Structure 1
């Protein structure tokens, strides 16, 4: 049977683009469909614009530090419109790069939505159909709102970069890395930030000691973090019954007001389109209520499989809607593969790219290759940053006897500037093999440090291998090779 294409990729994010390009370079005839913009979540509405906002938000503290170091610096106001214009120009540039890379690899691009019609057929939004020997799903995921009335009034991460104006106040719902990163970003840009998280501590699943330090630092920087707290109700502030004890808050939305035993009165009205962008009234599980310029939901993401025709074609989905794949990214339908966030494995851009490259090796180079999901380093761009690879202390001690080498201290640059911020350097070591099972860094530029430390951990370095490396002095990272005695064993 002849096909229109050897490979049809649905999704133009980093993983899909890499798979399309590398497959085309092996002589395959490849097409790719993307309904929005080339670059996907990472480039257009995720990692890249977020990191640029991280940079922008850090300058307020840097200018204070400059003053402490003797510079005659007069901080001014942050201009969101100026930054936003340059930000979107950069995203346009990167999208253009992706387009040129695909064009240079002779990949045919369709700028419209596509779905699977059968194991070898793809249908575009305009009704056109194409056949392909192999179909690769790389559509990623999208943020979700909680199932409460008026949730449509809130923002999600896709919306943050599109705001016309910087708000004076924001309530962030969630305690994962997206919630915490944007809490730090907006706080650094001068926004009054309140954050609700229903759990006992932010950054669930990461090392307890590290996430505890980050929470302390976020509070010290002025983020009003409420743990064990969630949103109960929300409504347009203008629709909620005005009372004397909330009028002051409504005149200038800045945060929460505890109302004790007072009752709410009538239920909030449903949202209308004219309410978008207007102050929002919120009630919390702790009995407090307040008004905010924006409510930002960072309460999770879900695979973007709706309307793709996958189940009709026989592709099995998991409990959360993720596409089930084997070790080679093949679905239950042999001709259909899936990579990236839509598979619910490790939801990181570099992982999706590696999965795309492994797909090409397997399908078009005859070299069956499993993407490596072991010991993947990651960074959370809070302020301070958090870099991690391997097991947390809690995971490791449940697995085997360990030694924990950890130190927390004021770095030289912060101490001189009169700041109280502390950093954390931590190694988790197997008592039996002496291998470093995990490395955790909370510090400025922790993402840069964990990339390099991750090489040693991935290679199976022992604590003694770290000890043999001469320290670079004076640096924060030298502590990784100078900790001689364990802080604790378990």
Structure 2
């Protein structure tokens, strides 16, 4: 039986980074993956989704082109097949890069389902990716659980008739009529993507506003923009069942008020859960809570030799945080350097047709502890002037009145994620509004508005 210093279960973003950094610091490392090298982000998340966003965005750019002097017309239909083929080629290329990167680092790769036998022993058997793989056992001084998360469906009759984001990336045809249940990151993003590709999209959610957990003003602005992209919203609704129509030709979505909608596909964007089903955690005694692994700041579980990073902990559930956790854990175990990342000022993006970028505290969060000065600006971006495309940019700064420190920055509009990435440096460094004011604007740009807002929109007292 092979003896290793570290064994990582799950070759997603966090697991791969942890394995690589550990190997670079002299550890003998093994890693197992059951389905996709590169994990959800590369195969069923960030990467293919962003390619879809670009595809939908290109259609709108073609629509706007005549306003800028280009004699072109948008095709009547989107070539779903060609796009999927190009997307799959890119994913295959990235899979190869991940495997090559791990092998070059001297890491032993295992393909199959890995489960814990005891606190130091892992068994790897057949999986979806390797159905004929032989059963192998490996021992390791330290084990890292990095198996990520998986989509969940609502517990309603007919739920099996719906698809999740996992299946959407491989549909043989683009559905013409789509019902999306849920208005978090995934629901909002795929509503914009499919509408941009020509589908008729209905978006159903229980709240009065989309994107629960984001700044209230951002949520309200987004709700207005969703309408402008031809997406029909159904706030305050709850699905109660799905029904098959015509032997699989369509699906009927029935709401709690009895209203029914017949569509080609129902997408459940109703959250994700930790992927822990086959890990054997119960037999080893790893403590879990509400379906996720409990771990401390250092990643350690209640079993001293077992650690957990990424979505399996259900804390941040984002690729960059999983990478940071994996990097810090590997150095903590094999070459302590005291390296840290600021998780408190984690930038986030929602890649809707009019994208959202945020960093730091929302107004609601900040008002719980601070007296605030709120700065906002709403305007039509220059790129939309000639084609007369509707929809305004929203930019917002949340500032502590006493210290003048910028607590949060929020934006809805073109290039928001790119701009907010740079604002994240300012928020992490605790720069003040005065320091932003001292920064000379880059003109003409949308980003310059963040350094030219001089007068507060309103004052908010601590709640």
**What is the CA-CA distance between 1:21 and the residue it aligns to?**
0.9
**SS of match in other structure, 1:438:** strand
Quote the residue 1:260 is aligned against: none
Quote the residue 2:137 is aligned against: 129
Aligned partner (choices 412, 434, 458) of residue 488 of structure 1: 458
Quote the residue 1:246 is aligned against: none
Aligned partner (choices 129, 139, 148) of residue 156 of structure 2: 148
**SS of match in other structure, 1:203:** coil
Contact kept? 1:116, 1:308, Cα under 8 Å: yes
Quote the residue 1:431 is aligned against: 401
Quote the residue 2:331 is aligned against: 361
**What is the CA-CA distance between 1:287 and the residue it aligns to?**
2.8
More moved, 362-371 vs 383-392: 362-371
**What is the CA-CA distance between 1:70 and the residue it aligns to?**
2.0
Aligned partner (choices 219, 222, 230) of residue 214 of structure 1: 222
**SS of match in other structure, 1:352:** helix
Distance 2:251 2:440 in 1: 55
**What is the CA-CA distance between 1:333 and the residue it aligns to?**
0.4
Quote the residue 2:61 is aligned against: 62
Q: Counterparts in 2 of 1:37-436, with a 5 A limit?
A: 37-76=36-75, 77-125=77-125, 126-238=134-246, 275=248, 278-319=249-290, 321-367=291-337, 372-436=342-406
Distance 1:412 1:366 in 2: 49
Contact kept? 2:13, 2:323, Cα under 8 Å: yes
Deviation track 1:403-437 (CA, whole Å, cap 9, x = no partner) reads: 00001111122122212210011000001111000
Deviation track 1:297-338 (CA, whole Å, cap 9, x = no partner) reads: 00000000112111221211112x111111111111010011
Distance 1:396 1:5 in 2: 46
Alignment of 1:443 with 2:442, yes or no, is: no
Contact kept? 1:328, 1:371, Cα under 8 Å: no
**SS of match in other structure, 2:6:** strand
**What is the CA-CA distance between 1:383 and the residue it aligns to?**
1.4
Contact kept? 2:145, 2:308, Cα under 8 Å: yes
**SS of match in other structure, 2:282:** coil
Quote the residue 1:259 is aligned against: none
List gaps (5 residues or longer) in structure 2: 126-133
Query: How high is the TM-score relative to the length of structure 1?
Result: 0.90
**What is the CA-CA distance between 1:369 and the residue it aligns to?**
5.5
Distance 1:296 1:366 in 2: 44
More moved, 67-76 vs 329-338: 67-76
Distance 1:301 1:285 in 2: 23
Query: How high is the TM-score relative to the length of structure 2?
Result: 0.95
Distance 1:26 1:480 in 2: 42
Distance 1:219 1:464 in 2: 37
List gaps (5 residues or longer) in structure 1: 240-274
Deviation track 1:167-221 (CA, whole Å, cap 9, x = no partner) reads: 1110000010100000000000000000100111110000111111111111111
**SS of match in other structure, 2:288:** coil
